[in-house]
């Protein structure tokens, strides 16, 4: 009888400890995630200027209709999608390539890793201003081109050039984190497997394709999701590099929310755009996870 009571007490105590440890995290999660998402979702069905003296007026799906019927906003969503997809590809290819080059520990590679991570330490606003000074019509590159008698290039004054310039700049600023992820992932690749491949006479490419790449699968998944989501939220670089121009060609959804809809006091529309951004992030994460599932299975099987 006594041991059973003692067991029950111990069970309650363990449960209490578990609840005590989980509750603060749940509260933080609810306060920082559930409540803001709930508000954004609610406001997205209202007409509201965001000011305390006004009461939000329920208008159903009108804000979503506004978002999808406006060429301006659909153009912004397409631009955001292009930046997220192309940017994620560029960032991850660059980061993986450099990680493979810098994976062996020696002084040069340590220096290289620091240099490559450095852009990420800079504020995104500073990065934008820096590249504005380099790529602008009177920037360093165009001044040098003029000096050698060549025509200047419209890095920031042509809509297509400006978009590609911005993707390049964001990728430059972002890939440091992905580089660290890939370097960590490469450290975890089994040396036994690499040695076995070498003994079997596999070439470098064969070793990469059959051993390194499958082993990196979870890292690739995490790197693509985190970089994709960072790119979806692109705002600061837009502000300082292009200001959304020329002619609105580099406006992202985050820029549209913060620099256009909020100042225009369209809290309902801004919230609808924010909800779409959250959904886009979720869709991106789930899609990448689903696509990468087979690769992760392979990784588990060889690990």
Partner 1 sequence: MMSTHRGRTVRGGAAVAAALSLVLLPACAAGGSSESSDGEIRMMVNLTDNLDQAYWEKLVKPFEDESGLKVKIEGPTGKSVAESFPQQLAAGTAPEVIQSIFPDDDTAPELVDLSDEAWAKDTPMFDDYAMEGAHYAVGVGTQTQSLIYYNKTAFTEAGIAEPPKTWAELDDALGKLKQAGFTPMQTAGDFQTGLQLQQIYHPTLNQEHPKWQAKVAEGELNVGDIYEPAFQLYADWISEGHIAKSDVGLSPSQADGNFIAGKVGLYTNGSWFAATLAQAEDLPFEVGVFSPPTEDGSAYPGPQGATMANPYMIRQGGGDEDGAKQLVEFLVTDPAAIEAQLGSDGVFRQGADVEQSDVEAQIQTILDDAPELVAVGEGQGDVRLPVTGFNPKLTEIAQSLYTGASPADAARAIDQWIGSSS
Q: Does 136 bind partner 1 (CB under 8 A)?
A: yes
> In this chain, which stretch among 85-93, 95-103, 204-212, 225-233 interacts with partner 1, using CB under 8 A?
225-233
Whole-angstrom distance, CA of residue 101 vs CA of residue 135: 28
Are 33 and 281 in contact by the 8 Å Cβ rule? The answer is: no
Q: Does 233 bind partner 1 (CB under 8 A)?
A: yes
Q: Does 98 bind partner 1 (CB under 8 A)?
A: no
Residues contacting 127, CB < 8 A, separation 6+: 119, 169, 172, 173, 236, 237, 240, 241
Closest to partner 1 by CB, 24 vs 201, is 24
Q: Does 55 bind partner 1 (CB under 8 A)?
A: no
Residues 27-46 that bind partner 1 (CB under 8 A): 29, 32-33, 36-37
Residues contacting 281, CB < 8 A, separation 6+: 228, 229, 232
Are 233 and 173 in contact by the 8 Å Cβ rule? The answer is: no
Whole-angstrom distance, CA of residue 85 vs CA of residue 124: 19
Closest to partner 1 by CB, 146 vs 195, is 146
Whole-angstrom distance, CA of residue 147 vs CA of residue 251: 32
- Kindly tell me which residue out of 265, 295, 298, 303 binds partner 1, with binding defined by CB under 8 A: 265
- Which residues are at the interface with partner 1 (CB under 8 A)? 29, 32-33, 36-37, 49-54, 66, 70-72, 132, 136-138, 152, 154-159, 162, 221-222, 225-226, 229-230, 232-233, 239, 242-249, 258-260, 262-265, 267, 274, 277-278, 281-282, 284-286, 289, 293, 296, 300
């Amino acid at each position: 009888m006594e041991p059973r009571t003692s067991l029950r007490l111990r069970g309650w105590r363990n449960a209490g400890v578990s609840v005590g440890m989980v509750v603060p995290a749940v509260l933080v999660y609810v306060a920082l995630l559930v409540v803001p998402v709930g508000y954004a979702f609610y406001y997205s069905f209202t007409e509201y200027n965001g000011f305390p003296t006004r009461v939000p007026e329920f208008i159903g799906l009108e804000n979503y209709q506004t978002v999808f019927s406006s060429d301006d906003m659909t153009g912004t969503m397409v631009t955001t999608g292009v930046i997220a997809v192309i940017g994620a590809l560029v960032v991850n290819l660059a980061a993986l390539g450099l990680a493979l080059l810098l994976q062996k520990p020696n002084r040069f590679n340590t220096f290289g890793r620091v240099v490559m991570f450095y852009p990420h330490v800079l504020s995104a606003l500073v990065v934008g201003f820096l590249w504005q000074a380099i790529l602008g019509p009177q920037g360093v590159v165009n001044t040098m081109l003029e000096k050698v008698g060549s025509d200047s290039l419209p890095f920031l004054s042509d809509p297509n050039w400006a978009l590609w310039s911005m993707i390049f700049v964001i990728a430059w600023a972002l890939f440091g984190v992905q580089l660290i992820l890939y370097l960590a992932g490469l450290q975890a690749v089994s040396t036994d497997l690499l040695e076995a491949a070498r003994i079997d006479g596999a070439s470098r490419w064969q070793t990469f394709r059959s051993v390194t790449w499958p082993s990196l699968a979870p890292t690739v998944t995490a790197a693509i999701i985190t970089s994709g989501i960072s790119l979806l939220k692109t705002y600061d670089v837009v502000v300082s590099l292009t200001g959304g121009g020329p002619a609105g060609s580099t406006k992202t959804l985050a820029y549209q929310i913060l620099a256009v809809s909020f100042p225009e006091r369209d809290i309902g529309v801004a919230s609808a755009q924010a909800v779409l951004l959250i959904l886009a992030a979720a869709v991106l994460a789930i899609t990448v996870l689903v696509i990468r599932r087979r690769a992760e299975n392979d990784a588990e099987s060889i690990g």
